[in-house]
Chain A
């Protein structure tokens, strides 16, 4: 059982008063333990929908989604979801924001809290643990959001364009930070993005989606040196070639 996540012929149809929309059709792919997989697709191709399905926020119309061989029916404790914006609560301190998943999942124990505090300290936010979100920069806030996602110790992270709200300078740095944290903590990650270079700089494998209704159009396994940071990867020879291939696939389809 190497696959931590497996989607088999997943379909999703949205219902509204006037019509129904097929957002996802016969989508199948799987993710291995500790793998970093990016999903890219044309805008409006249902990328976020796929993450919502995996997160257990809504049921698939047809097909199966398996986490470690078990079907996902509701929100699963071992899956962490990171959103586009940090969504920190302004009335809570950084520390209290990080504790939020522990409180919600009713695992707010001494051990878990000290583990969360360790994460805060380890990733350079020690001096800010008693500060409020408004006192932090955008990049730091996004780092807090990742630590919040990690505080309940999930195995699988779902990242929904978590860098898109940042300015380009901060973005490169935060991408590095996030990659570093995810690798050091030994997590599996599924990233959804429309940014091709971001996907290449982070992933072990990239899944290209078709237009709506989304299904897998192509898969690319990337063979960059695993010790390179996302920023360093951008200087590698294969980078621009992969970029061109993906760009053509996204636009000609």
Chain B
């Protein structure tokens, strides 16, 4: 097969490959230089390792946490809250968006409420949530749902409403019922919107669960960060933040995988 390719083609393919390698190498290099500088400067006492911590200490903290089993406990707590909040908000939000798409009357009536709820900083509801749901996991999940659901409703509704008018006309000319309109046209054409909504929601659910943990928790990654800050253990704060980065990245990667599966057919 290879000898069928022209020289120009070979050169082009080589260049594409080279570009890709270059981007990846640079990415890793930036991280390594950053970590290396951090470590060296901290060791030379140019920066205060008590305030800034240092990579080796962070790694040691993570190892220590995982050995004592604490890490697993905090990790599963936060993961549980985030994933549950994400799933509840996404499904419930999509269902609400569907109802609003279905009934123009409902949409018109509820519009100002949605606008207000969207602009409201949800953290302001923290005290109310704690009073209602207690200082525990329930409150945190509720916070994650609250932050995520409004965005879901708005994004999905806009997606549903953006269905091409001419395609709707085609369906009407065939005599399609509203239900047929929904599952033959509106839902399939909204899949790209749904995917981008999922991507936004991953971030939103994390904000919700960590914010919730800041407010009430006794365990979880958010709790570790707050606790570490209070007792001035910056190693712990940094270690938790890095774990958080890894988790959020992982969840995003899962959504990206789902996207590949759903869009593959195109």
Contacts and interface: CB of A to CB of B under 8 A. Distances in A.
Contacts of A55: 173
A90 B174 CA distance: 18
A154 B184 CA distance: 21
Interface stretch (A33-41, A101-109, A119-127, A198-206): A101-109
Contacts of B172: 57, 75
Interface in B187-207: 188-189, 191
Interface stretch (B11-19, B102-110, B162-170): B162-170
A105 B169 contact: no
A83 B171 CA distance: 11
A102 to B, nearest CB: 10
A57 B165 CA distance: 14
Interface string A62-93: 00000000000011010001011101011100
B174 A89 contact: no
B161 interface: no
B185 A89 contact: yes
Contact of A100 (B166, B169, B184): B184
Contact of B174 (A85, A91, A105, A134): A105
A132 interface: yes
A104 B171 contact: yes
Interface string A44-63: 00000000000101000000
A83 B166 contact: yes
A104 B171 CA distance: 8
A91 B188 contact: yes
Contacts of A91: 188-189, 191, 265-266
A104 B167 contact: no
- Counting chain A CB atoms within 10 Å of each CB, which of B173, B174, B265 scores highest? B173
A81 B176 CA distance: 13
A87 B166 contact: yes
Contact of A77 (B164, B166, B175): B175
A84 B173 CA distance: 13
A161 to B, nearest CB: 12
B180 interface: yes
B172 to A, nearest CB: 6
Nearest to B191: A91
A100 B166 CA distance: 15
B174 A100 contact: yes
If over half of B's interface residues share one DSSP class (helix, strand or loop), that class is named, otherwise mixed; here it is: helix
Interface residues of A, number: 21
A101 B175 CA distance: 9
A95 B265 CA distance: 14
Given A91-B188, A91-B266, A104 B176 contact: yes
B186 to A, nearest CB: 11
A75 B266 contact: no
Contacts of A100: 174, 184
A75 to B, nearest CB: 4
A85 B166 contact: yes
Contacts of B180: 103-104
A85 B165 CA distance: 12
Nearest to A55: B173
B175 A89 contact: no
A81 B173 contact: yes
B265 A74 contact: no
Contact of A75 (B166, B174, B189): B174
Contacts of A101: 174
A5 to B, nearest CB: 16
A173 to B, nearest CB: 23
Nearest to B174: A104
Contacts of A74: 175
A40 B170 CA distance: 22
6 contacts: A74-B175, A75-B172, A87-B170, A91-B266, A103-B180, A152-B174
Given A57-B173, A89-B188, A90-B266, 12 more contacts: A55-B173, A75-B174, A87-B166, A91-B191, A91-B266, A100-B174, A104-B171, A104-B175, A104-B176, A104-B184, A105-B175, A152-B174
Please name the 6 residue pairs, one residue from A and one from B, whose CB atoms are nearest each other, closest first. A75-B175, A81-B173, A104-B174, A87-B170, A104-B176, A91-B188
